[in-house]
Amino acid sequence: MKILVINGPNINFLGIREPDIYGKNTFRDLLQLLDKTAQELGLEIEQYQSNHEGDLVDKIQWAYGKVDGIVINPAAYTHTSVAILDALKAVGLPAVEVHISDVDSREAFRQVSYAGLACCKTIKGHGLDGYREAIVYLNDQLSHK
């Protein structure tokens, strides 16, 4: 089984950006957590991060026929991007949305998620652990198909 983990803009600045909101763990820590999770569950995880909306759309399209599921944190594009929503719908792969922070308790504009409309589950406010939870969830869903 192969899962693609996609991260949007500024996630590569984890540990530097607003640590009071996103925590002190770095992007490198996130990559290590993904490797560890892949080993634990015996699956393949590919990671992709970009600050550019079109590149994120390209990567979602690339995933068609190549991976079994997608974990996505579209970051700020969550709240603006119909293109990412349409790409997720186009490929039709099971997808889980992750947010490190609890977007529901933040500004009103963060409470709208376009990408989430194409996801079977959303995990928010669990820090980096949310990625692990999303992968475990997808693994369970896909194993029981």
Residue closer to ligand DQA by CB (options 41, 103) is 103
Residue closer to ligand DQA by CB (options 80, 142) is 80
Q: Could you identify the residue written with the tokens 């490190």?
A: 100
C-beta of 124: minimal distance to ligand DQA in Å? 7
What amino acid positions are annotated as catalytic residues? 22, 99
Q: How many CB atoms lie within 10 A of CB 79?
A: 18
Q: List CB contacts of 92: < 8 A, sequence separation 6 or more.
A: none
Among 1, 76, 83, 142, binds ligand DQA (CB under 6 A): 76
Among 67, 75, 85, 91, binds ligand DQA (CB under 6 A): 75
Does the footprint of ligand DQA cover residue 103 (CB under 6 A)? yes
Among 78, 91, 132, 135, binds ligand DQA (CB under 6 A): 78
Please tell me the distance from the alpha carbon of residue 141 to that of residue 145, in angstroms, as a whole number: 6
Does the footprint of ligand DQA cover residue 10 (CB under 6 A)? yes
| Helix (H), strand (E) at residue 42 | none
Please tell me the distance from the alpha carbon of residue 19 to that of residue 21, in angstroms, as a whole number: 5
| Both structure tokens of 140 | 């369970």
Among 37, 49, 50, 73, binds ligand DQA (CB under 6 A): 73
Q: How many residues bind ligand DQA, per CB under 6 A? A: 10
b or e along 19-35 (b: 16 or more beta carbons within 10 Å of the residue's beta carbon)?
Answer: eeebeebebeebeebbe
Does the footprint of ligand DQA cover residue 141 (CB under 6 A)? no
The helix/strand/coil state of 83 is: helix
Give contact residues for ligand DQA (rule: CB under 6 A): 10, 73, 75-76, 78, 99-101, 103, 110
